[in-house]
Chain A
Amino acid sequence: MTYDRNHVVLSVRDLSVTYQAERGRVRAASHVSFDLHAGETLALIGESGCGKTTLNLALIRQLPKTARTSGDGVIYTYRDGRQADILKFSDREMRRYLWSECSMVFQGALNSLNPIIRVSDMVYDTAKAHGIGRDEAHKRALRLLEQVRLDPARVMRSYPHELSGGMRQRVLLAVSLLLRPQIVIMDEPTTAVDILTQRSILDVLKQLREELNFSVIFISHDLAVAAEIADTVATMYAGEIVEIGPVNEVFYRSRHAYTLSLLNAAPRLSAGAETLESIPGKPPDLIDPPSGCKFHERCAFAREVCSQTPPPLITYDDEHQASCYETERVLAQSEVTRKVAAP
């Protein structure tokens, strides 16, 4: 996959999200910054509770009301070059932004579809809310449903319960593209589907991306899916991006101990007998996170400084960033254990 590195669609700058809980303030996302380019697929990886979903919801301003978002902005660049800060949008501007500029596909397709209306009505309603007529919407939907390898006429007439899980997920994918957004945000779109269904969703997604060239922000706890479809991978831990870089860099030349630990815990089918290790302990309490590097208590590489001062995010070659004091040792071990497979 190649994408346009000169064309940034979404620039997230120092974004933080906190919740007020009874025990104190939960720092669910801290100082997150990244650029999403046109046509780029960014995968967010990490354990549950590391802030992936919080970050995604913040990007579409769909966090619960108890959440406070702060930072230097989430700057979106329209197709005509105009720029706007999503965090400053009025509700009306936000509604216009969603679906037209940025759409979402969530896990559990059944929950995202209205059970009592046909797919066709969902299409017309979505389009109408954004000023697109029924005929145009119908035409676009037929084409998109075909692109996701469904029988357009049949699916348009169907109610959600008449479709299988994999079909529903593909319907959502098609509808998410109806208004030709530049960005699609996906939260675990292939979790809880069967292997062959997952395969067809991934294939369809890859093909659509080539044909329509949208950008994707993709959350997955499944490293294999990230390895397959991401251009860029960001590892999140305790609400922070601790490592981000091109997919091959992050997988074969990991620079953060947490990324390396995640990879060492993931079984691979074609790897023969494997020595795998779980990560000890559990993700930290975000109300009272550990000092220094938040991963240090679980980290096999940790030394004294790790528990004292938070490591800065440093940029290495090829736009690879990581915040780890032991990055050289991590890198050396990563290169030994994760050799690039011969294609």
Chain B
Amino acid sequence: MTPIIELRGVHRTFVKDRQTIPVLQDINLSIEPNEIICLVGESGCGKTTTGKIIAGLLEPSGGEMLVEGRPISSYSGKERSALRRQLQLVHQDPFASLNPAHTIGDILSFPLKRHKMVEGSAGVRRRIWELLTMVDLTPPGDIVNKYPHQLSGGQRQRVSIARSLTVQPRLIVADEAVSMVDVSIRISLLKMLHELRDRLGLTIVFITHDLALAKYFAWEGRIAVMYLGRIVEIGRTQDVIAAPQHPYTRALLAAVPEADPELTRHKHMLRLRSDDIPKLTDIPPGCAFHPRCPFFVPGLCDETLPHLTAIPGAAQHAACLPLQRGEALQEAAKAAASGYAG
């Protein structure tokens, strides 16, 4: 199948105070139609920038993005605006992303009218009813005339999702879409996204810093772990969670507390060599994780840049040189073995 999105060697830089900051470097990622893929990582890892590029809101500074197998540069102006509609972004903050001066009905009708998605005002009304029902805001009659401030955070996020669906997208980028809502109702939002995906054949790019949430949401999909602007590991969620390969992924998984007292108190911790996250303006040579990596191999990791390739004995890909050479990390890290605190 042709991937719906393919990023080939995508770079992205921002200029701040006359300094060029490489926010994304050499991102290669292909996303299949109807797939769920999670981008995870800590702040500054580039997951939001990647999401914005996928949603067509940012241009890559280098490399190229293909949509349905065609480079985005080959799309004509008209085709591009159609493309924009097919790729939608749902923002993190439903308090900031909905105009407080407009009713929910207005918020949903603007894109319907602007893009002539339906005929006539009766059609608009019918479609709004449909959309609100789709996101479980029922009965729609109770919602359409309300303003955002009259809704709870979870309801607002449902409105945001309904708005993204007005233009009948094929792909949705959900950037921390549930992190502002209470834990008790996150699951219902995620379940709704799952149902929408099944029903509308959507592809979902889910961006989160919460690994447990990523695991739950993308259980049947894939996870890409990002660090300092690069993907360091990618594979099926079940493989990445059960047998993480890249030392950074291992460190993240080991660091997450679990909602289970005995389990969380007996987790094996990976102690990093340093707590300091390097600045994007000063990314370490070789593997960017080497100054913190407990399995650092001097003369290798600090000199050669690892690429994302298959790891012997593992189902997923990771950018780690010792792993790619087939070395077991524990052995490679004899010197640092004492850092394994249990």
**Which residues does chain A contribute within 8 Å of B253, judged by CB atoms?**
269
A161 CB, min distance to chain B CBs, angstroms: 14
Q: Determine the residue in chain B with the shortest Cβ distance to A250.
A: B261
**CB of A242, distance to nearest CB on chain B (Å):** 14
Chain B residues with Cβ below 8 Å from A341 are 260, 262-263
Interface size class of A (residues with CB under 8 A): 35 or more
Complex CA distance for A248 and B265, rounded to whole angstroms: 11
Give per-residue flags for A168-201: 1 if the beta carbon is below 8 A from chain B beta carbons, else 0. Answer: 0000000000000000000000000011111110
Which residue of B has the minimal Cβ distance to A48? B182
User: B256 contacts A195, CB within 8 Å?
Assistant: yes
A166 CA to B152 CA, complexed, in Å: 30
- Please indicate which of the listed interface residues B189, B211, B252, B263 has the most CB atoms of chain A within 10 Å of its own CB: B263
Q: Which residues of A (183-231) have their CB < 8 Å from a CB of B?
A: 194-200, 202-203, 221-228
B182 contacts A267, CB within 8 Å?
Answer: no
In whole angstroms, what is the CA distance A338 to B263 when docked?
A: 11
* A247 located at the interface, meaning its Cβ lies under 8 Å from any Cβ of chain B in the complex: yes
B182 touches A276 (CB 8 A): no
With A196-B42, A269-B212 already in contact, the answer to whether A223 and B241 are too (CB < 8 A) is no
Give the residues in chain A near B42, CB-CB below 8 Å. Answer: 194-197
Would you give the shortest CB distance from B179 to chain A, in whole angstroms?
Answer: 10
Q: Which one of A48, A268, A277 contacts B260 once the chains associate, using CB atoms below 8 Å?
A: A268
Q: Which residues of A are found within 8 Å of B257, using beta-carbon distances?
A: 198, 202, 222, 224-225, 227-228
Query: A278 is contacted by which of B184, B219, B258, B259 (Cβ under 8 Å)?
Result: B184
Most B CB within 10 A of own CB, among A224, A225, A263, A342: A224
Residue B200 CB within 8 A of the other chain: no
A203 vs B270: C-alpha distance in the bound complex, in angstroms?
12
Task: Tell me how far the C-beta of B213 lies from the nearest C-beta in chain A, rounded to whole angstroms.
Answer: 6
Scan A253-292; emit 1 where CB is below 8 A from any B CB, else 0. 0000000011101111111011011111010000000000
Contact B184 A269 (CB under 8 A): no
Q: Mark A78-110, 1 if CB is under 8 A from B, else 0.
A: 000000000000000000000000000000000
A-B contact pairs, 8 of them (CB 8 A): A195-B209, A195-B255, A200-B275, A202-B257, A251-B260, A268-B263, A274-B216, A341-B260
Interface residues of B (CB under 8 A from A): 42-43, 152, 154, 182-189, 191, 209, 211-213, 215-216, 219, 241, 251-253, 255-266, 269, 272, 275-277
